[in-house]
């Protein structure tokens, strides 16, 4: 049921600046992949391309045989691609419960939303997720009053409610304590069993904790790929990170 994410020869040009340069990558179903790279390497732009926020200048982007370059953000999300942003964005005016309820996989057209009645099974799923992200006792607090880490968690919870086949997670542990970071790594590892997960992260310790295959990006293209030890010993990667 899960699909393959397939990027081939993707380039994006902003006013002459090549944000992505002939980028190719394949994410297998159920795979957990970490992407690292210096600032401006094109990591966020790559996520923008996959989720339909930005259109590529050239190249192919496919997920489970759907051409993502022709779909808008909502349609891509409904294909089962979920995204967590670098800056946590939850809906401040809504409660934790309502945030999760909105993310819940259910018909999303206005008429269905108007007639929506929360069934008991859905209610249980939301409660289970709240327990998983440690926000069970905050169900009816507005998201605005949550701490930074709790907002990160809530956003991950919303991703889970979407039941995506592919999760794109941008710097999930920024601003988290060590303990929270560890918890997050465990959660992502667990999720990866059923879904593909792509994590963009600066924190190499966290990447090591994930135990995933690592892709190093630089100047809009793939510099190196392999296990964390492999890429850490790659001469080109060292040059990029330490400077020539």
Partner 1 sequence: MSATTITPAPRIQGGTILRGLLLAGLAILAMLPVLNRLPPESVLYVSDFVVAVSGKWICYGILALAIDLAWGYAGILSLGHGAFFALGGYAMGMHLMRLIGPRGVYGHPVLPDFMVFLGYTELPWPWWGFSSFPYAMLMALLVPGALAGIVGWLAFRSRITGVYLSIITQAMTYALMLAFFRNDMGFGGNNGFTDFKELLGVPLNTAGARAALFYAALVALGVSLLLCRLVTQSKLGRVLVAVRDAESRVRFLGYNTTSVKLSVFVLSAMLAGLAGALYVPLIGIINPGEFSPGNSIEAVIWVAVGGRGTLVGALLGAFSVNALKTWLTSFAPDLWLFVLGGLFVAVTLFLPRGLVGLLRKGEGR
Partner 2 sequence: MTRFLRLLAVFLLFAAPLRAQEGFEAVVAGLAGGFAAQAEAVERLGALGDPRAVPILRALSEGRLQKSPEGALAIDGRDALTGAPAPTATEAIRINNRVRGALRGAFGRLELASASDAERAAAAAGLFRARSPENIQILEDALGREANPGVRATMERALAASRLAAPDAGVRRQGILMLGGTASPEARGLLLEARTASPDLAPEIDAAVAAIDQRLQLRRVAETAFQGLSLGSVLLLAALGLAVTFGVMGVINMAHGEMVMLGAYTTVVVQEAFRGIPWLFPWALPLSVPAAFLVTAAVGAGLERGLIRHLYGRPLETLLMTFGVGMILQQAVRLAFGAQNREVISPAWMQGVITLPGGVEVTQNRLWIIIFSLLVLGLTVAAIRFTRFGLEMRAVVQNRRIASTMGIRTGRVDAMTFAFGSGIAGMAGVALSQIDNVSPNLGTGYIIDSFMVVVFGGVGSLAGTMIGAFTLGLVNKLLEPWAGAVLAKIAVLVGIMLFIQRRPKGLFALKGRAAEQ
Q: State the residues that interact with partner 1 by CB under 8 A.
A: 51, 53, 72-75, 77-78, 82-83, 85, 89-95, 97-98, 101-103, 108-111, 113-118, 120, 123, 139-140, 158, 162
Residue from 1, 3, 10, 17 binding partner 2 (CB under 8 A): 17
Distance CA 119, CA 112 (A): 14
Nearest distance, CB of residue 161 and partner 2, angstroms: 27
Instruction: Check residue 156 and report its DSSP letter.
Output: H
Distance CA 159, CA 167 (A): 8
Nearest distance, CB of residue 95 and partner 2, angstroms: 24
Residue among 80 and 220 whose Cβ is closer to partner 2: 220
Q: Which residue has the tokens 């909502």?
A: 74
Does 15 bind partner 2 (CB under 8 A)? Our answer is yes
Nearest distance, CB of residue 40 and partner 2, angstroms: 10
Does 111 bind partner 2 (CB under 8 A)? Our answer is no
Residue among 15 and 109 whose Cβ is closer to partner 2: 15
Residue among 102 and 187 whose Cβ is closer to partner 1: 102
Residue among 90 and 218 whose Cβ is closer to partner 1: 90
Interacting residues of 71 by C-beta distance below 8 A, sequence separation 6+: 52, 79
Residue among 159 and 173 whose Cβ is closer to partner 1: 159
12 backbone dihedrals φ, ψ, rounded to 5°: -130, 130
Got the DSSP string for 71-118?
Answer: S-HHHHHHHTEEEE-SS----TTSBHHHHHHHHSSS--SHHHHHH---
Distance CA 216, CA 87 (A): 22
Q: Which among partner 1, partner 2, none contacts residue 15 (Cβ within 5 to 8 A by kind)?
A: partner 2
């Amino acid at each position: 049921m899960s699909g393959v994410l397939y990027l081939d020869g993707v380039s994006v040009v902003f006013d002459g600046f090549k944000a992505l340069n002939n980028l190719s990558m394949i994410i297998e179903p159920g795979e957990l992949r970490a992407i690292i790279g210096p600032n401006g390497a094109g990591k966020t732009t790559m996520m923008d391309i996959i989720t339909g926020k930005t259109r590529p200048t050239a190249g192919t982007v496919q997920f489970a045989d759907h051409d993502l370059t022709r779909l808008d953000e909502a349609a891509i999300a409904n294909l089962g691609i979920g995204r967590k942003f670098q800056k946590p964005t939850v809906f401040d005016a809504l409660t934790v419960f309502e945030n999760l309820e909105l993310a819940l996989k259910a018909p999303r057209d206005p008429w269905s939303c108007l007639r929506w009645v929360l069934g008991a099974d859905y209610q249980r799923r939301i409660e289970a997720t709240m327990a998983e992200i440690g926000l069970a006792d905050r169900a009816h607090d507005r998201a605005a009053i949550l701490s930074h880490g709790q907002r990160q968690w809530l956003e991950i919870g919303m991703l889970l409610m979407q039941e995506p086949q592919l999760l794109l997670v941008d710097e999930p542990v920024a601003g988290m304590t060590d303990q929270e970071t560890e918890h997050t790594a465990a959660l992502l590892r667990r999720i990866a069993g059923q879904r593909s997960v792509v994590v963009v992260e600066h924190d190499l310790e966290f990447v090591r904790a994930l135990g995933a295959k690592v892709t190093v990006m630089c100047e809009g293209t793939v510099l190196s790929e392999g296990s964390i030890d492999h890429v850490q010993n790659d001469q080109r990667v060292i040059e990029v990170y330490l400077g020539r």
